[in-house]
Amino acid sequence: MTQTLNSLVLFAILAINTAVTFLIAHAVIPSLVTTGDAPTSVGTIRRTLYFIFAVSFLVAGYAGSRALGQAITLIDQIYPRFVI
């Protein structure tokens, strides 16, 4: 049961990280560079943030599928047979 909860917490944290890094890399930084509020050198950080986004997205998918599999196993232990 604790593994399922840990996987769900990890999935939630990674999903938030995925959304925030994508938002910063895809919307905030280009907007700041376009308006001149940030120097153009800040635009190079976008590649790093896109890489973090991609890794976080893949790991979140793995954690979500793992949590779902563990939850199905846990429900099967609580209810031996699914009620139709």
- What integer is the mean pLDDT of 29-54? 92
- Provide the pLDDT for residue 59: 96
Per-residue model confidence as pLDDT tens digits over 18-34 = 999 999 999 999 999 99
pTM of the model: 0.82
The token pair that represents 22 in the structure block: 């994508």
Tokens at 29, concatenated: 């930084």
* Domain boundaries along the sequence of the chain: 2-78
CA–CA separation, 49 vs 43, rounded Å?
A: 10
Nearby residues of 31 by Cβ (< 8 Å), 6 or more positions away = none
